[in-house]
A = this chain, B = another copy of it.
Amino acid sequence: MSRDICVYNEFLTDAHRARIEQAARETGFTVHFFDNAAQAEEFVRGDCEIIYSYLPSLVQAAPHLKWFCCASAGVDLFCQDDSLFQNPDCLLTNSSGAYGTAISEHILMVTLMLLRRYYPTYAQLVREHNWKRNLPIRSILGSRITVVGTGDLGTSFARRAKALGAGTIIGVNRSGRQPDPCYDKIVPTAQLDSVLPETEILVLCLPQTPDTVGILSRERIALLGPESIVVNVGRGSAVDQEALAEALNEGRIFGAALDVVTPEPLPADHSLWETKNLLLTPHCSGDTALGWTCDKLVEMFCEDLFNYAAGRPMKHLVDRKRGY
């Protein structure tokens, strides 16, 4: 009997498919690539053992699924509702580790755009053909940064900020444990309030879990100073959007850059589009269009395929209860 892998991911190049086919051959699997979600869904209704994709509908359709490898880092869609998996023992792995490069460069870009007043001021002046200069600008050099969530995304950014001369980098995580020497200090989430008043650049890199929803609450936004910047690249649910928009519109904080919002896609008539000093991007910070990201994703799937086939622990296994 053949053991089947269903693959549905738009980003794959021919080289990526060849790499996956080779790994499947070496582990005794047959791989089936789909460009059409409905056809993939039809296929997995049979005896499919492994799916490599990002679509909840495929998981839901597969009665004999033993392993779902998600091509995203965030797997909240697969952890909210246990009934999604027909097989309660199905393994779930994520792709945390592939997005750090792309997303940390996004964080750098938006932080500089806000600190240097490219957005909104210079962008607006240039659109008006107005050669006005010498507005006050700020630097990453010497800045006080707080990174909430010290996984791949947060730490990829923190390392880069350190290399650019950031003054103090505080990491915030559940355990209070030091994951990387680039952090000057780690504080547990329970002490987040104490670091907010001194924070100039607050970066949220959190998965969506019951603990992280609403973590940047109205009360915490009120603790931030008038020079502070908020950047969110995790999930939109981490932020009280209404309170953030009020703080921005009233000039109580300096600026914000949201790549993730609630809901997505953001409706065209949503007030967030026109919030003052808010740099919005359409959840593009970790785009799989970045070649390095795609190569890394495929490498990570193949690595865990060998682990799975050999009965070894899987490197990117997610605790479905915990959500990451």
Contact = CB atoms under 8 A, between A and B. Distances in A.
Nearest to A131: B265
Nearest to A10: B134
Interface stretch (A75-83, A203-211, A235-243, A281-289): A281-289
A288 B105 CA distance: 26
B102 A137 contact: yes
Contacts of A283: 131, 133
B105 A136 contact: no
B137 A290 contact: yes
A39 B116 CA distance: 33
Contacts of A163: 160, 163-164
Q: Is the interface of A mostly helix, strand, loop or mixed?
A: loop
Interface residues of A, number: 50
Interface in A237-293: 264-266, 268-270, 273, 280-284, 287-292
* Copies assembled: 2
A109 interface: yes
Interface stretch (A61-69, A138-146, A187-195): A138-146
- Residue of A102, A129, A264 with most partner-chain B CB within 10 A: A129
A111 to B, nearest CB: 9
Nearest to A264: B131
B122 A282 contact: yes
A284 B164 contact: no
A113 interface: yes
Interface in A119-173: 122-123, 125-126, 129-142, 160, 163-165
A30 interface: no
Given A129-B273, A133-B284, 19 more contacts: A105-B141, A108-B108, A108-B164, A109-B109, A109-B112, A122-B282, A126-B280, A126-B282, A130-B282, A132-B282, A133-B287, A134-B284, A135-B284, A135-B289, A136-B289, A137-B290, A138-B290, A160-B164, A163-B163
Interface of A: 101-102, 105-106, 108-109, 112-113, 116, 118, 122-123, 125-126, 129-142, 160, 163-165, 264-266, 268-270, 273, 280-284, 287-292
